[in-house]
Amino acid sequence: MFDINKIKAFTFDTGGTVLDWHTGFKRGFELVNFNDKSNIENFKMANIFRKKSLEIITNQNYDKLVNFDEAHKIAIENIIAENNIKLNDKDIKFLYYDVPANLKVWKDFLVPFERLKKHFLCVSFTLLSNRLVFLNSKANKINWDLVLSCETLEVYKPNIEAYLKTAKMLQLKPEECAMVACHSFDLNAAKKAGFNTIFVKRSEEWGADTNISIEGEYDMVIDSFNEFSQILN
């Protein structure tokens, strides 16, 4: 475990680690009766949508950056085209624009988060667009000390420069920051940048398809945010 006395800021991945995207996406596909228009179950389509969006946002062409709203739009349009699915423009926009802005916070997050805020700087360091992180945070009463979207940074995780730029903007050394995430690709990059790392096991992140894979060595591995009490004791 890292030395808590040297930590000054916790930077949180937000989509997946803090927000339950799967339930929100699945519900969105249910509301447009997507399963009636395709042979793919709604919960599986939610995961396909998420996977394609992540691939777009984390494999950026830096000559022409897109934010996560644009990645969602590209992903759903590709899914519809690839599967020859008939969906009207209103439902398409609902899926890529409205659904990702109406996610719920995981139930284990808020209480430990408020405790941490009393002692540390708590930052949303996220792939989500500014619009998505602000709307979801406001709706779920998540009062970040600071939001650093990769859209603002103009460099996207897992590019090492995103982590170094975040530490610089916080006026901290990387080793004074702890990255909190449920994704190994995020934590592995943070570790290379010099951040401390905390892996959160999200056993329901991908619904029935969830397969927790810890692909690295981290300073802490926790089952839920309730275990953050260990840090403060």
- Residues 196-222 have pLDDT tens digits of 999 999 988 888 777 777 888 999 999
What's the chain's average pLDDT?
A: 93
Q: Which DSSP helix (H) or strand (E) runs through 10?
A: strand 9-12
Distance CA 128, CA 181 (A): 14
CB neighbours (10 Å) of residue 80? 18
Write down the CATH superfamily of domain 4-20+105-232: HAD superfamily/HAD-like (3.40.50.1000)
* Pairing status of strand 220-222 against strand 196-200: parallel
CB neighbours (10 Å) of residue 228? 21
Do residues 85 and 37 touch, judged by C-beta distance below 8 A? yes
Q: Which DSSP helix (H) or strand (E) runs through 162?
A: helix 160-169
At 157-194, the pLDDT tens digits run 999 999 999 999 999 999 999 999 999 999 999 999 99
